[in-house]
Amino acid sequence: MAGTIYYKQLQTPIGPMIACAGHEGICLLEFYEEADFEQRLSSVEKWLKAVLIKESTPYLEQVAKELEQYFAGERKVFEVALQLQGTDFQKQTWQALQTIPYGVTRSYMQQTLSFTVPESIRAVANANGKNPIAIIVPCHRVIGANGSLTGYAGGLWRKKYLLELEAEVKQGRLL
């Protein structure tokens, strides 16, 4: 990807996020820490090989609305277009993540076995860790084989929150 990418800062119940969009959809959605924001913008520009401009687009407005609905327990499936950036294997891994239903968890082994040609658990875990689109590409739904919460770029406390939110909505307790 090269050229111009637009970004918007979003506030969520579990901290600020940055959303970036190209001409085909959302290419980045991640949590950040306020103190590291400028440094994070610089690293995103290098990763995307693009200039970031703080300006809203229809994709950014849509993702903001869908996230608001998600956190309110009103949305289980996201419809905003995605523009995934990564290797073929990473994209395959992220597409597999999107098949995990709302409120359901899978182990890394279960995720690995879902591939036509199973890869190593380490390769899958590594690709999950590089997922650039939090929540919508639900890597938070992947847990350890023993049920433990493992690895989440946004922090394990956020992963726990997201899983508990989905469990509450699925059981009809939130609404």
Report residue 5 as tokens. Answer: 């990418």
Q: Is 1.10.287.3510 the CATH number for 88-170? A: no
The catalytic position among 19, 127, 139, 163 is: 139
Interatomic CA distance for residues 87 and 85, integer angstroms: 7
- Looking at 1-10, 55-64, 100-109, which range is the least confident one? 1-10
Q: How confident is the model at residue 2 (pLDDT cuts 50, 70, 90)?
A: low
Catalytic status, residue 20: no
Q: What is the DSSP letter of 139?
A: G
Q: How many CB atoms lie within 10 A of CB 137?
A: 23
Distance (Å) of CA 168 to CA 11, 71, 105, 119 = 21, 11, 14, 33
Query: Tell me: the pLDDT tens digits for 47-100?
Result: 888 899 999 999 999 999 999 999 999 999 999 999 998 899 899 889 989 999
Options 3.40.50.720, 3.30.160.70, 1.10.357.10, 1.25.40.10; CATH for 3-71 is: 3.30.160.70
Which regions of the chain carry the CATH code 3.30.160.70? 3-71
Which regions of the chain carry the CATH code 1.10.10.10? 88-170
**pTM summary value:** 0.90
Beta-ladder partners of 26:
21, 82
